[in-house]
Structure formats: C-alpha cells, structure tokens
Amino acid sequence: MMQGGLAGAVFGLIQRDLLLTWRRRADIATTLLFFVIVATLFPLGVGPEPAVLRTIAPGVLWIAALLSCFLSLGRLFATDYQDGTLEQMLLTPHPLAALVLGKIAAHWLVSGLPVVVLSPLIGLQFGLSGGAIAILTFSLLLGTPTLSLVGSIGAALTLGIRGGNLLSALLVLPLFIPVLIFGAGAVASSESGMGAEGHLSLLGACVVLAIPFAPWATAAALRIAVE
C-alpha cells in the first residue's frame, strides 16, 4: 500500500476500483445475469433446432458479451466524474494514460473475465463440442480486453452528457466490429477445418494495437470532458 511512483499509483487505483466493485457486488451480478439472459433469449427466439443453435452460438455469445461489456462501461468514469476523483486523477504527476489503463484493467477483471469464465457453460447449452467451447472461451479471453479498451474511449467522450450511455453505444459499437468478426469467426473456421489460429492471432493483434492507443485517446477525451 505504501508503494510510491507510477506503479504504486496504477496498482493503487486498480486496488481501489476492485474494492469499490466488491462493495457494490450487485453490479457485477447484474452484468453477468444480463449476459446469461441475452444468450438465453436466442434459442427462444430462433427455435431449439440443435444444428441452427450450434451455428449461431459463437456469434450469440460474442454479441451477448459485447452488450454486457457495454452495460458496465457506463460506470467506468461516471462516478469518478460526479464525485470529483476524476479531477484528482488529472492532477497527479503521473501520465493520465497509465492511470486510465489501470482503470480499464480493473474494469476488465470485474466485467470481462467473469463473462469469459461463464461462457463454457452457455456454450454447453448451445450444444457446442468440447473443442469449439475451448476455442470460443479462448477467443473471448483474448478479445474482451479490446472491448474494455476501445469502449473506454466512448465512455470518456460521452461523460456527463444526457443519455450519454446510449450515445456511447452508438459511437463505439461500430468500432467493435473487427473484434466481433475475428472472435466469432475463430470458432466457425475451426469447425470448418481451417484452424482458428489466423483469427486468434488477429484478435491478439487487435489487443496489442489497442493497449497503447486506446488509453491515450481515452485520456485525451477525459481531459476534454473535465475542462
């Protein structure tokens, strides 16, 4: 707790956000339940035909993960903005992008990771084979950090705007498309015997691109929002 410097600040911030989420555990439960319910609605809407369900399962799980990520993104900076801790964050001697990366990491740990852990169960419900479930879970593990990273840009841009959460979805969902395509495509291409390596490495490339770029854009957006 007494660590100084940038690492201390970033890990302190992650620790603080995790503690805050722990005090508001119901929020994680809401996100997870939302994920499960959205995924459950598809078989009810499309019909219980196993072959159809198996085909749409990767896409459905990815879209459910994407939407539930959005549900929690609204809270990423909103409370900090309201209570003034965001101003304090901007007035530290540390680079803002690093602190933002810390907040995104905390967000992923409480909203992305649980979805990844839960996805094999939903995959079973959709009748996916063991191999497909493994690839799907791995693609979510690789892809959900990008969702948190890119989503943070939208959350920061719409901070303090009326209806900002909805607007943020409109702004950022188009940017999520590559992740959705590579993520859901990984399972499909492995089922068709082409192997999932190509899609998975593209997902990895997305995350590698997003880690340096997204926090930087988010930091710029936060400075603009707080002015």
Partner 1 sequence: MKTDRMNWFQWSSPQAFYPLAGKLIPWFACVSMVCLAAGLYMGFLVAPTDFQQGDSYRIIFVHVPAAWMSMFLYVVMAGWAAVGLGLKARPSFMMAQAIAPTGALFTFLALFTGAFWGKPTWGAWWVWDARLTSELILLFQYAGVMLLHASIDDLRRADRASAVLALVGVVNVPIIYFSVRWWNTLHQGASISVTAAPKMAATMLAAMGIMALGFWMYSAAVTLLRVRCIILERERHASWVQIERVS
Partner 2 sequence: MLDIHDLSCHRGDRKLFGQVSVSVPVGRLLSIEGSNGSGKTTLLRAICGLTPPDQGTIRWHGRSITEQRETFTSGLIYIGHRIGLKDDLTPMENIQAAMQMSGHPVTTALARAALEAIGVEPVCYRLPTRVLSEGQQRRVALARLWCSDQPLWVLDEPFTALDARSSQLLRERLQRQVERGGIVVAATHQAIGLDPSTVQQLRLGE
| Residue 27: Cβ-neighbour burial (10 angstroms; 0-12, 13-18, 19+) | middle
Q: HSE-up of 51 (CA within 13 Å, CB side)?
A: 0
DSSP state of 14: H
151 binds partner 1 per the rule CB under 8 A:
no
* DSSP-assigned letter for residue 176: G
Tell me how far apart the alpha carbons of residues 79 and 171 are, in angstroms, rounded to a whole number: 21
5 exposed, middle or buried (CB, 10 Å; 0-12, 13-18, 19+)? Answer: exposed
Comparing CB distances to partner 1, the nearer of 28 and 220 is 220
Mask 163-202, x = binds partner 1 (CB under 8 A)? xx--x--xx-xxx-xx--xx--x----------------x
Decide: is 47 part of the binding site for partner 1 (CB under 8 A).
no
Of the ranges 17-25, 75-83, 128-136, 216-224, which one interacts with partner 1 (CB under 8 A)?
216-224
> Which residue, 118 or 147, is less far from partner 1 as judged by CB?
147
Q: Which segments of the chain does DSSP mark as H helices, in order?
A: 5-23, 25-46, 50-73, 75-83, 85-90, 96-107, 113-125, 130-157, 164-172, 177-191, 197-226
How far apart CA 202 and CA 208 sit, in angstroms, is: 10
In the complex, least distance from residue 213 CB atom to partner 2, rounded to whole angstroms: 21
* Residue 51 interacts with which of partner 1, partner 2, none, CB < 5 to 8 Å by class: none
34 binds partner 1 per the rule CB under 8 A? no
Under the criterion CB under 8 A, does residue 73 sit at the interface with partner 1?
Answer: no
Please measure the distance between the N-terminal and C-terminal CA atoms of the chain and give it in whole angstroms. Answer: 31
The verdict on 158 binding partner 1 (CB under 8 A) reads yes
Shortest Å, Cβ 144 to partner 1? 17
Question: Counting every residue, how long is the chain?
Answer: 227
CB of 217 to partner 2, least distance (A): 19
Shortest CB 133 distance to partner 1, Å: 22
CB-count exposure of residue 179 (10 Å: 0-12, 13-18, 19+) = buried
Applying CB under 8 A, does 133 fall inside the site for partner 1? no
What, of partner 1, partner 2, none, does residue 203 touch, CB below 5 to 8 Å by kind? Answer: none
Q: Which does 34 bind (CB under 5 to 8 A by kind): partner 1, partner 2, none?
A: none
Residues in the site for partner 1, rule: CB under 8 A? 153, 157-158, 161-164, 167, 170-171, 173-175, 177-178, 181-182, 185, 202, 206, 209, 213, 217, 220-221, 224-225, 227
